[in-house]
Amino acid sequence: MSAHAAPALSVLDLVPVRTGQTSTEAIAASLSLAKVADRLGYRRFWFAEHHNMPAVASTTPPVLIAAAAARTKTLRLGSGGVMLPNHAPLIVAEQFAALEAIAPGRIDLGLGRAPGSDPVITQLLRGSGTTSDVEQFPRHVQDITLLLSGEGAQVQFTSGGEYTVRSTPAATGVPEVWLLGSSDYSAQLAAAQGLPYVFANHFSGQGLERALDLYRSGYQPSEQHPTPRTFLTVNAVASPTQEEAEARALPQLRMMSRLRLNKPLTALETIEEALSAASDPATEQIVQAARERWFVGTGESVAAEVAAFAAKHGVDEVMLSPVAGAYEAEPKDAAAGRAQTLELVAAAR
């Protein structure tokens, strides 16, 4: 372990679906991973929102959060994030107010501006006409924070009347709202609204230092958050050997290349499939570029890299996206490689 102070560790999960695995098995594997994180003392476990992707089963973060809450004791549970343009703000506020009632003091509401899918799926999600526009994102973030508060939001009618709306009656606590993003826009909006901010480094990695500087330098203190607060996400794979870690990283690296090259998406390859698959220069270039930003190695090396990364960017928490793939023989209703990553990194701290 390096001389850098160990940051708090959290987990981001996309509920990956591998070849031959059902949604039932994939969700069971992710819920078992949440139990591992809870046992090991991780701070948070967030579910992402993605749609119509064969390799990703995290379509409904609130449902997954509720299931994880029933299986864990101290872990904070949340969304990483709810893609707000897909949903009516009142529905989001009501869902997370209910989750806060189910697991008081343990719920985070991470909000993102991206749709989390392709234009066709985005249109289907907005088919009812009740979901929010991207242009309205700043106002709808404010609406959600007001709806979650004890005072509620005041709705102004054209006739001049007002109506008070609350996400739930007799609330004793509220979820903690975070803004997520990988751009200057999200950093500046979080600063302007006095909200905690998470840079999606696991997804992009570009513009990290500028986004953090914009957030911290432009931060407007709020009653709930008088000082800026942020942490970062990283892709991580830890195994007993470097060789195994590299092999476990390959399926997700190849999936990233398919996304970047607009190739047809499939279930996540097993490690055997990824190692034996034919490649090409474009794929290799993307795989190598992504691999340079990932933390892949033994528990000791990954823990040291995470600590150095946190110290470099001045954060006291890092959220790991454990992207370890699976061997064909490993049980489909468990997450052996991802659990191993969490265990080895925690043990090396």
Q: What is the pLDDT of residues 197-220, one digit of tens each?
A: 999 999 877 889 999 999 999 999
Confidence at residue 203, expressed as pLDDT on a 0 to 100 scale: 80
> Looking at the predicted structure, is the pLDDT value of residue 287 above 90?
yes
Whole-model pTM: value is: 0.93
pLDDT of residue 159: 61
Lowest mean pLDDT among 61-65, 146-150, 277-281, 321-325: 146-150
| Residue 135 pLDDT greater than 90, yes or no | no
Q: How confident is the model at residue 127 (pLDDT cuts 50, 70, 90)?
A: low
Three-class secondary structure of residue 73 per DSSP: coil
Query: 129: Cβ–Cβ under 8 A, 6 or more apart, which residues?
Result: none
pLDDT at 245: 98
189 touches 183 (CB < 8 A): no
Q: Retrieve residue 128's tokens.
A: 């009812």
| pLDDT above 80 for 225 | yes
pLDDT tops 90 at residue 323: yes
Contact in structure between 53 and 23 (CB atoms under 8 Å): no
Residue 119: pLDDT band (50, 70, 90) is low
What is the rounded distance in angstroms from the CA atom of residue 200 to the CA atom of residue 8? 17
pLDDT tens across 22-53, in order? Answer: 999 999 999 999 999 999 999 999 999 998 89
99, 52 in Cβ contact below 8 A?
no
Q: Tell me whether strands 317-322 and 8-13 are parallel, antiparallel or unpaired.
A: parallel
Q: Is the pLDDT of residue 128 over 70?
A: no
Question: Tell me, what DSSP letter sits at residue 133?
Answer: P
pLDDT, the chain, mean: 92
Q: Which amino acid does the sequence have at 146?
A: L
Using CB atoms within 10 Å of the CB of residue 130, give its burial: 0 to 12 exposed, 13 to 18 middle, 19+ buried: exposed
Q: Which residue has the tokens 């392709």?
A: 118
- Would you say residue 129 has pLDDT above 60? no
pLDDT at 1: 46
The stretch 286-315 carries a mean pLDDT of: 97
Statement: residue 271 has pLDDT above 70: yes
pLDDT at 130 over 70: no
Packed helices 137-148 and 184-193: angle between N→C axes, nearest 10 degrees: 40
Q: For position 85, what pLDDT does the model report?
A: 85
pLDDT band at 124 (very low <50, low <70, confident <90, very high): confident
Exposed/middle/buried for residue 280 (C-beta within 10 Å: 0-12, 13-18, 19+): exposed
Confidence of residue 183 (pLDDT cuts 50, 70, 90): confident
Residue 102's pLDDT band, with cuts at 50, 70 and 90, is very high
Q: What's the pLDDT score for residue 2?
A: 47
Question: What is the pLDDT at residue 310?
Answer: 97
- Identify which of 275, 277, 287, 279 has the alpha carbon closest to the alpha carbon of residue 327: 275
Quick one: average pLDDT of 81-102?
93
- Domains, the chain, with CATH or none: 8-239+296-347 (3.20.20.30)
Residue 126, amino acid: R
Percent of the chain with pLDDT over 70: 92
Q: What does the block give as tokens for 209?
A: 């230092």
How far is it, in rounded angstroms, from Cα 13 to Cα 335? 11
